[in-house]
Structure 1
Amino acid sequence: MSPTPRPQDRGDRHVPPPGPDPVAEAPTPPDDPAPDDLVHAHGPGRRVYYAAHQRRMDLTALGQLALSLPAFLTSALVVLLVGVLLDIGPGVPFWMPVALWVASGALVFHRPTEDLLARYLFGLRRPMPQEAARLESVWREVTAIAGVDGGRYRLWVEESDALNALAVAGHVVGVTRYALEHLSSRRLAAVLAHELGHHTGGHAWALLLCHWYGLPGRLVRRVLRATALSLVTPVRCAVYLAGGVLLLALGGLDSAVARILYGLPLLLALPYLSAAVGRRAELRADRHAAVLGFAPELADVLETLYEDGPPEHESVPARLLSTHPDVPTRLHHLRAYL
């Protein structure tokens, strides 16, 4: 066997000395986990390490559920009343409607049900092939950095000329067509990272459960109101009186339940507390995007929103009842990450 020729013996070709095989050297995860349990390795040829806990329920999600207890108990009493009527009439056990109603909350995590909610309740559509290619590429980047399995979520598009995005149900992420067409990839990634923060923090599903379990009480009020408005004038006064009594009874039931649970002072502040929890959820989602490294891009998007349409002057109660903090407040909280 002839000896291996040296580089100068091979003409103009240069053969590098043998070295370690880069493919064989698989990267190892970092010793210290990143903030908020975001364990990842990112870059060409690197592996992506998914965090063990893909979701959690932070304080804002717990606060949303706690503040919805009065509406939940009121709806439970409405469903129980329906069950009693069915027990007296057709002979259906009174507990069956209540059990089915309680178990129905699991539907918000059922993928076909989520698709129906996204399409018919939130007005979203499936992305076109070109839209899907861009969305999925950016989404893979964001979820890889976050250490989250992006395949668990479904991406949707809202046919709107506004710059917006939303996270709903258990696995739905939507962006407007305007955002998809006008935002750069990094800014779109910042927006998606914000919505991912709503999902991983439990904000989206907690809010949907609150609305879902408060639905029976709201339906009773709407049916009574619609019935009163549809009747002829001679009967309307009597129906108004009966409907008003029922509405006052339901309102009194809400107040009684809330007073028992929280006390009268907290009852008066309940709408403001719910709005404050919503604002805190937005700031936490902003922080999630900032921790992933998208603070500058998210700040750019917020500044664009503020420049395109700065909000009109609002009264103090209106600001306190807003579920979203104003742009200067969000930028102030992002300053530590810029």
Structure 2
Amino acid sequence: MDSISDPVPDRPTDDLVYRHAPGTRITYRARQRAVDLTAWLGLTLHLPSFLLGLALVGGTALVLEALIGVPAWIPVVLWSGAGVLVFHRPTEQRIARHLLRLQRPLPHELAVLAPVWSEVTARAGIDGRRYQLWIEDSDDLNALAAAGHIVAVTRRALQDLPTSQLAAVLAHELGHHTSGHSWSGLLGWWYTVPGRLVWRALALVKPRLVRIARGASITAWGLLLVLVGCLTVITAKATYGLPLLLPALPYLTAAVGRRAELRADAHAARLGFGRPLSLTLHELVAEESGTPGRPRRTGLSARLLSHHPDHRTRLHHLRKYL
């Protein structure tokens, strides 16, 4: 049985040009992080979900106060301030392990990953020691950035990609971190949890509601429609019609997500990884085209709701950096 300290089997030849050898002087940027326009837009679009979650948590807190005497402001303040845990290292590790299902690199995986990550962060002027490298046990050719310091690649990407293409993928994920996309996305996810829980609860009771609706009279249906209509008009007037934008939020959020992906591609290209990134995207296009049963085109609605642009769109935007 091979030792875990053995090199990764069948790994492509190292083709990355290392500009920063170990021990050389590296100049770090004064600002290690920023928040670009897409991150701000993403946070803004999550504001209605935050307000809905705040209302749900506040309502639950009032019930708890009436039942057991817990002051209602305590759960509200705790939930509202819980977003700071995005940057709390122990919490991040739990998110990586239990929510994202990631694993820490084994010694032979870290031996490949760490030098590449060091080269990428050195070119960007970023202190790479601030981040934690993780592995996703997946056969997809993918990577992800999450929370404040999580950077992960799939095991297939680590084993199959040449080092320059692995560096390009890591540079893309670093772009998500340095632009604020990763932590703003996780904040948005966290503050929509109450709304998603209510939606799941409604899905569970949906069969019962359908049975009740079938047995309801026409008069009851008419009264219900009038009540819902009145509540809708009152709410729209009180909030200047903002709830009417809710159906458009998934499409707007997806559009911002696609823009964030293109900005992360541009970040990788500016660090000198435009060509290896384009090679990786070409491989993904070829793989999708040659996979039996995989649809070559998706519907318009699915494309508009996707948070990732298709590979051909990404290649088109990368052309100016090649």
TM-score (norm 1): 0.78
2:116 equivalent to 1:132: no
How is 1:1-338 mapped onto 2 (pairs within 5 angstroms)?
Answer: 42=20, 46-226=24-204, 237-238=211-212, 260=239, 263=242, 266-310=245-289, 312-338=296-322
- Alignment length (residue pairs): 286
- More RCO (CA 8 Å, sep 6+): 2
Asked if the contact 2:236–2:242 (Cα under 8 Å) also holds between the matched residues in 1, the reply is no
The whole-number CA distance in structure 2 between the counterparts of 1:258 and 1:274 is 25
For structure 1, the 5+ residue unaligned runs are 1-40
Aligned CA-pair RMSD: 2.8
Larger of the two Rg values belongs to structure = 1
Measured in 2, the distance between the counterparts of 1:166 and 1:193 equals 11
Q: 1:313 is paired with a residue of what secondary structure?
A: coil
Letter in 2 for 1:294: F
Tell me the amino acid that sits aligned with residue 95 of structure 1: W
Would you say the 8 A contact 1:272–1:321 is kept in 2?
A: yes
Report the counterpart of residue 13 of structure 1 in structure 2: none
When normalised by structure 2's length, the TM-score is 0.81
Aligned 8 A contact 1:197 1:289 in 2: yes
Give secondary structure in 2 for the equivalent of 1:210.
helix
Alignment deviations for residues 213-244 of structure 1 (CA, whole Å, 9 cap, x no partner): 11011112213433566xxx7x9845999xxx
* Contact 1:258–1:267 (CA under 8 A) maintained in structure 2: no
Structure-1 separation of matches of 2:121 and 2:206: 51
On the 8 A contact 1:228/1:240 being kept in 2, the answer is: no
SS at match of 2:145: strand
| Higher mean displacement: 266-275 or 176-185 | 266-275
The separation in 2 between residues aligned to 1:51 and 1:167, in whole angstroms, is 20
The offset of 1:168, in angstroms, is 0.8
Counterpart residue identity of residue 318, structure 2 = L
1:45 to partner: Cα distance: 6.3
Judging changes above 3 Å, is the alpha-carbon distance between structure 1 residues 135 and 256 closer, same or farther for their aligned structure 2 residues?
farther
Post-superposition shift, 1:265?
Answer: 6.9
Cα distance, 1:261 vs. partner? 6.9
Report the alpha carbon displacement of residue 312 of structure 1 after superposing the two structures with TM.
Answer: 1.7
Distance 1:136 1:194 in 2: 16
